[in-house]
Amino acid sequence: MQKFFVQRRIRFTYMIIFIGILLSGGCKTKEEKAPVKNDSPERPNIVIIYADDLGYGELGVYGATELKTPNLDKLANGGMRFTKGYASSATCTPSRYALLTGTYPWRNKSAKILPGTAPLIIDTAQMTIPRMLREQGYKTGIVGKWHLGLGNGNVNWNERIAPGPNEVGFEQSYIMAATQDRVPTVYIQNGKVFKLDPDDPILVNYDTNFPGEPTGLDNPELLKMKWHHGHNNSIVNGIPRIGFMKGGESAKWVDEDMADTFLAEAQKYVAAHKAEPFFLYYALQQPHVPRTPHPRFEGASGMGPRGDVIVEADWVVGEFINTLESEGLLENTLIVFSSDNGPVLNDGYYDDAVEKLGNHKPAGPLRGGKYSLFEAGTRVPFITYWKGRISPGVSDALVSQLDLLTSLANLVGSDKKGEDSEDLLDVFLGKSNMGRDQIVLEATSRTAFRQGDWAMIPPYDGPSINQSVNIELGNDNEYQLYNLEEDIGQQNNLAESHPLKLKEMIATYEEIRGNGTDNLEALELK
């Protein structure tokens, strides 16, 4: 009899312990998603492929029917496709800053669209993805668009240009300084202008032209592409640019060859480093203006140059992945694909982007576009792929490019973190659906807030539409509140009907953003 009770007590004790284990970790709630340290760090190669101005609705897998993107569709179908993946900003420089540093761009006053002469905006002591990986023994390289500034404010383009990518963690760099529409229109390899003839030095100025040099404004007869707004300074290859440039003839890029040039450099990088873990940031220039497809892609989309360069971008991604495959690296490489901001049609040149769009919807079902606080500004294609490791699927978790730094650190066994970067490694690998709770989104120095299914845009002065690009910016003198689950197109402002939700979101937003209570008071006055 006593033995029976002892056995019952033991069973009871076991049961209590079991329940205790369950409560302490077995059943995780949303609040408890404290980062799980990765006990078995790995060292796969890591590649981030980053498009420029590619919208949420641009790929077949994201709903495009008029535009064919077979290679990116294949990548997405073989990996994890995120439906709520965000760039940090609706323009390039701030998004790229956030991607590399894991820090919100609005914390850095210089993180705005930069001219080609701007100084480097990443502190050379700051943690970045390449620096973190380099500390872990990775080889690190960048090929493509930089647009994070170079030098200290007074660059001599004829000498070594520093600081730049090589001073913030990249051992190798082959870049364009800013954008394809900004001077200097040359490639820069490890700080040196590529193929520069010392007898034909480069001069760059964003304020005044060099005497006697033609411009888009004064010499329309020299143009093969016409400017619509802005873009009427120096002419290079018949294309008028932003900023003035003189000299450097032998170093000037050929716009139509840019995709092939960057692809070849990316492939070279892989071949050179296939024996060691490497990180490559492959920053495509498409479909940013000026849209200059190689002649073999001209007409490929039936949508004019904008569609053609998206087809071209899809092709280079396919070729690049073929290289990884033929080098036997696909099972040992984590690929992340995304875009720096949402889509724009007319971004300053007459290139038929509007006229030949047909039924294509660059932003898919989203409202706004590049420069906008509405969803299309920052919600972008976001794909992770790792053959044999990421089971193909679609994830609705809220993720940001900000999160890559801390998540990749966890993957490779580093304890480095970005200031605003969450560890979502399991989410990126498709093993968890618990993404971020919230995110602050930026668009040309204004910010909005997403929390769960809700998006909140504070009141802003300024035009509701940017007439030049014909994009709704999200400015309104009232608060805007949208339930994205029910209203992905942000048509019904629920601010009036959901005052408590609005108040709660403003409070959290201001806590993160550090705006004080100005906006909250304004709300209460209403």
Distance of closest approach, residue 316 Cβ to Ca ion, in angstroms: 17
Measured from the CB atom, the residue of 128 and 180 that comes closer to ligand NG6 is 180
53 is a site residue for Ca ion (CB under 5 A): yes
Q: How many whole angstroms separate alpha carbon 460 and alpha carbon 337? A: 32
Measured from the CB atom, the residue of 99 and 424 that comes closer to Ca ion is 99
Q: How many whole angstroms separate alpha carbon 424 and alpha carbon 304? A: 39
> Which of these is catalytic: 92, 231, 273, 288?
92
Distance of closest approach, residue 344 Cβ to Ca ion, in angstroms: 9
Distance of closest approach, residue 457 Cβ to ligand NG6, in angstroms: 20
Note whether 388 and 395 are within 8 A (CB).
Answer: no
Site string for ligand NG6, 331-360 (x = CB under 6 A): ----------x-----xx------------
289 is a site residue for ligand NG6 (CB under 6 A): yes
Note whether 350 and 356 are within 8 A (CB).
Answer: no
The string over 66-97, giving b where at least 16 C-beta atoms fall within 10 Å of a residue's C-beta and e elsewhere, is ebbbebbbbbbebbbbbbbbbbbbbbbbbbbb
Q: Which of 88, 126, 179, 292 binds ligand NG6 (CB under 6 A)?
A: 179
Q: Which of 69, 71, 91, 172 binds ligand NG6 (CB under 6 A)?
A: 91
> Which of these is catalytic: 27, 147, 231, 273?
147
- The DSSP element (H or E) to which 277 belongs, if any, is none
- Asked about 147 being catalytic, the answer comes back as yes
Sign of CA dihedral 323, 325, 331, 337: positive
Q: Which two tokens stand for residue 178?
A: 């800013």
- Asked about 27 being catalytic, the answer comes back as no
311: which residues sit within 8 A by CB, 6+ positions away? Answer: 67, 68, 69, 293, 297, 300, 301
Q: Which does 526 bind (CB under 5 to 8 A by kind): ligand NG6, Ca ion, none?
A: none
526 is a site residue for ligand NG6 (CB under 6 A): no
Q: How many whole angstroms separate alpha carbon 138 and alpha carbon 279? A: 7
Q: How many whole angstroms separate alpha carbon 136 and alpha carbon 15? A: 44
Q: Which of 33, 49, 53, 174 binds ligand NG6 (CB under 6 A)?
A: 53
59 is a site residue for ligand NG6 (CB under 6 A): no
Report helix, strand and coil shares of the chain as percent, to nearest 5: 30, 20, 50
Measured from the CB atom, the residue of 90 and 334 that comes closer to ligand NG6 is 90
Measured from the CB atom, the residue of 363 and 397 that comes closer to ligand NG6 is 363
C-alpha 216 chain-centroid distance: 30
Strands (E), 186-234: 187-189, 192-193, 203-205, 226-227
Distance of closest approach, residue 98 Cβ to ligand NG6, in angstroms: 13
Distance of closest approach, residue 256 Cβ to ligand NG6, in angstroms: 19
Burial class for 491, CB neighbours closer than 10 Å (0-12, 13-18, 19+): exposed
Q: Which two tokens stand for residue 24?
A: 């302490």
In 163-303, alpha helices (H)? 258-273
Measured from the CB atom, the residue of 148 and 270 that comes closer to ligand NG6 is 148
92 is a site residue for Ca ion (CB under 5 A): yes
442 is a site residue for ligand NG6 (CB under 6 A): no
341 is a site residue for Ca ion (CB under 5 A): yes
98 is a site residue for Ca ion (CB under 5 A): no
Q: How many whole angstroms separate alpha carbon 317 and alpha carbon 366? A: 25
Distance of closest approach, residue 92 Cβ to ligand NG6, in angstroms: 3
Q: How many whole angstroms separate alpha carbon 352 and alpha carbon 309? A: 13
368 is a site residue for ligand NG6 (CB under 6 A): no
Question: Looking only at residues 206 through 265 of this chain, which bind ligand NG6 when binding is defined by CB under 6 A?
Answer: 229-231, 242
Distance of closest approach, residue 181 Cβ to ligand NG6, in angstroms: 5
Binding site for ligand NG6 (CB under 6 A): 52-53, 91-92, 113, 147, 179, 181, 229-231, 242, 288-289, 341, 347-348
Catalytic (active-site) positions: 92, 147
Residue ranges in contact with Ca ion by CB under 5 A: 52-53, 92, 340-341
